[in-house]
Chains A and B, each alone.
Chain A
Amino acid sequence: MEVKTGEKRTIRIFNPFFISGFLLVFIYLVLKFGIHPPIPSSLIAMYMGIIIFAIILYISSSESIFQEFLHPINLFLTLDRLKVPRTVIGIFIPLILGFWSYQMALPKYEPPAGLRTIHPAPPDEISVKDEKIVLSKANNPFRGDEVEKYKKEGWEIYFSRCMPCHGDNLNGNGHWAKRINPIPINFRDPGTIAMMPESFIFWRVAKGGMGLPDEGAPWDSAMPVWEHDLSAEEIWKVVLFIYEETGFQPKKWQ
């Protein structure tokens, strides 16, 4: 299919210029509105950057495709009959860029997006109720023949202390979860406890959000410091329960 532009010059509808433009708009719309929950704009910008890069590579990897791509641009810039739209676009583009720059420069009341480390490096050793625990060597003392018994005890602790936030299904969807930002962690996500040794989880439960190092943004976590209310044994039991219930194996210290 071809569109006549006069002066014996034609542009194919399936010209790489139009196809790539259509592709970019289509992919952007899918990323912006087609995925739920929505993707943060920082990531959409990165994705679009790579996709534009890939399209440019494809177009310029063949001289014939490259020339075909440039053809509508050349016609637009040179045809006399397109003088009016050319002038309009010539005015419009700087205006859009100016408006965009203005928007970027406007002061915002929202806190800036931050890089929060979800799994910060734990300290060498911690102290819980005056008991020193070397995290890289600590193992759950309740892993043995009576796992089921201790799991049940852990279950009781979990449902009295953790369930309101982390949920009865351990998926971070407790009835208080929506009032907390960021919401509690989902233990059933393979990217959470399954990536960590048990002593890491012990540390996080014992010291809570306030015990996070700066990189983990301790001001940005609602996790209580459970060592004030639970003994080390009780924390180990609840950690045991979380792993056993989700079916994940704790990562081993290497």
Chain B
Amino acid sequence: MVDYVTIWGISSRDISWVFAQLHLNLAAFVIAVPTFALIVEIIGFKTGDERYDNLAKDFARLITISLSLTSILGAIFLFVIIVLYPKFFSYFSQIFGGTMVFYAMLFFGEFIAAYLYYYGWDRLKNKKLLHIFIGFFLNSFGIAIMFVANAWVTFMMMPSGVKETGELYSLWEAINNPGWWPLNVHRLIANLAFGGAIVAAYAASNFLSAENEKEREYYDWMGYVGNFIAVSALIPLPFAGYWFGLEIYKYDQQMGITLMGGVLSWLWILQAIIIGVIFLGINYYLWIGMERIEGAERYRKYVPALLLVMTICFIIWFTPHSLVASLEEARKIGATLHPILSVLGIMTAKNTVVNIMILSTFLSFIIYRRSGKIPITSWARLGNFIFFSIIAVVAGYIIFLGIRGYFVETTVRINYSMYQVLAVLFVFIVCTPLDVAIYRKSNVIGSIKWGHMPPRSQYMLIVIAVSFTWLMGLMGFARSSSRLNWHVYKIMEDTSHSAFVPSLGYAAKIVSLITIIFFIMIGVIFFLTKMLEHRQEEKFKFIKE
């Protein structure tokens, strides 16, 4: 058996890279959408508010076509691996052959559940619990499929359950390798963020092409919900990422350094820029959304301060530790590390500003929520004082730990990042219910005028979705490249002529190509979905209320 096959002189790695990432992007979308379709459906069922049911059905409408396209891409990807990497696939099927059969059965189950879920929507209108039950099964199948695939990719990074020669001695250990659960959790949350952003982009494109006011109102609301889901999932995502990174370091320190401090370290600067754009974009969408709420003018004065804080945090976040400098510039600096800027380049500064950015985004949400209301609760002033005192104290605590992080040993500093995260979570847990309680009794001075958004707000939703997609591609490259010249890390070496880590510039081009192809596909899905759409007047009922 030959080890590698090349077709038409095209790099086998690039072909498999493109198909793997495209499949992954669509799969993430297909796993995420049923999750929030089900959540929104349950909200609609519990509250009896039909607009949620209609929205959930709109989400579900996207599933069937996406699922077909995902499975076609998955099949192409499988053929690509079998044809181009025969020796690797032979070894891999010896290890995971059983799980591959299980994987195919799960896919079969997901297809049945997906079609039952969408096409049974109207028929099971009076048997909502049964329909929700089908939705639960659909989600279970989707998540199980992802877990199986995660076991394969994390085994390639952190092989377990095999001898040094590569022979399998425990399938369970191979599946339950150190990276499996962190990646399961990380991808589950990331899928929600990504799916929310894509749904928001779908709503934005429909908003921009809306033919009447009612459509604009509906898609404005849908975009808001999609964006809200994306933000809610984005905020805990870094914590799952830390866990995954920690497991990589624990498994193999060398791989951890390669990923975070070595050849791939510059990739994190790009990541910081993209996430910074996402954060600023999300806040921008909220600030611009306040324009459609009467009474929001009262909070407008806080926007410059929030933007200033976020911009400073953003700049600190992407300031690299070592600089790209010309020879002349390097001579002027006198070293590769700039004495002032290198201080901003290390993790204690980064962790601090990320947490402050999350807190600022939380504050943007709070002022958005409060825009059209005036609390009449007797203890509102005291409540507000406590509310903002908590945020101020926590922000001070995060900055204090960030500064102190420079003066303590590394093992202590690593714990600080956890304290900072916990402090932010504390704000969410305490301040969110406090805000709800303060505004439980309130005078509504202005309702949200859905549909009254300028087109630029919708373009921002599309920018956010594109940024998420590009980011996923970049992180996929990081994860795969951390294996360096190994198919299965330190078990099965990549001996092909592509066994090197491509440059960041080349990776950026491939990731951009994938992003473009993905959005063309998404465009086709949106177009086909729209063709299938038989809109009912009831969908717009909520607007009259």
Contact = CB atoms under 8 A, between A and B. Distances in A.
Given A124-B254, A189-B342, A110 B328 contact: yes
A254 B321 contact: no
Nearest to A214: B263
Contact of B307 (A35, A58, A252): A58
A190 interface: yes
A110 to B, nearest CB: 6
Interface stretch (A41-49, A87-95, A230-238): A41-49
B307 A117 contact: no
A42 B269 CA distance: 13
B415 interface: no
Interface string B171-208: 00000000000000000000000000000000000000
Interface stretch (A2-10, A75-83, A149-157, A180-188): A180-188
Interface in B275-313: 276-277, 280, 284, 287-288, 291, 300, 303-304, 307, 310-311
Interface stretch (B124-132, B405-413, B510-518): B405-413
B319 interface: yes
A2 B504 CA distance: 51
B325 A120 contact: no
B322 A118 contact: yes
Contacts of A189: 337, 339, 342
A46 to B, nearest CB: 7
Contact of B411 (A122, A185, A252): A252
B280 A57 contact: yes
Interface string B345-357: 1100000000000
Contacts of A194: 409-410
Contacts of B321: 118, 191
Given A114-B324, A116-B322, A121 B307 contact: no
B393 interface: no
Interface in A155-209: 172, 178, 181-183, 185-186, 189-192, 194-195
Interface string B321-336: 1111111111111111
A40 interface: yes
Contact of B504 (A50, A115, A124, A191): A115
A189 B406 CA distance: 10
Contacts of A192: 337
B410 to A, nearest CB: 4
B268 interface: no
B469 to A, nearest CB: 19
Contacts of B342: 189, 191
A61 to B, nearest CB: 4
A159 to B, nearest CB: 22
A58 B329 contact: no
B250 interface: yes
Given A35-B340, A194-B410, A115 B266 contact: yes
B333 A37 contact: yes
A147 to B, nearest CB: 16
B338 interface: yes
B187 to A, nearest CB: 23
Contacts of A110: 326-328
Contacts of A121: 254-255, 257-258, 261-263
A118 B336 contact: yes
Contacts of B263: 117, 120-121, 213, 215
Interface residues of B, number: 66
Contacts of B168: none
Given A120-B263, A136-B253, A40 B329 contact: yes
A113 B250 CA distance: 34
A57 B279 CA distance: 12
Nearest to A51: B311
B265 interface: yes
A121 B266 CA distance: 14
A143 interface: no
B335 A186 contact: yes
A129 interface: no
A61 B345 contact: no
Given A63-B454, A113-B325, A54 B288 contact: no
A181 B331 contact: yes
A249 interface: yes
A41 B329 contact: yes
A191 B333 contact: no
Contacts of B280: 53-54, 57
B75 interface: no
B381 to A, nearest CB: 28
Contact of A120 (B250, B262, B334): B262
A58 B346 contact: no
- The list of the 9 closest CB pairs from A to B, nearest first, reads A249-B409, A40-B325, A121-B262, A121-B257, A251-B410, A121-B258, A215-B263, A61-B287, A54-B311
29 contacts: A39-B323, A40-B333, A41-B329, A43-B319, A46-B273, A50-B273, A57-B284, A58-B303, A58-B304, A61-B303, A62-B287, A110-B326, A112-B326, A115-B266, A115-B504, A118-B321, A119-B257, A122-B254, A178-B334, A183-B334, A186-B335, A189-B342, A190-B343, A190-B407, A195-B261, A249-B411, A250-B410, A251-B411, A254-B249
Given A40-B326, A121-B261, 20 more contacts: A39-B323, A40-B338, A41-B326, A51-B315, A60-B284, A61-B288, A61-B303, A62-B291, A115-B266, A117-B262, A117-B265, A120-B262, A121-B257, A121-B258, A181-B331, A182-B335, A182-B336, A251-B409, A254-B246, A254-B256
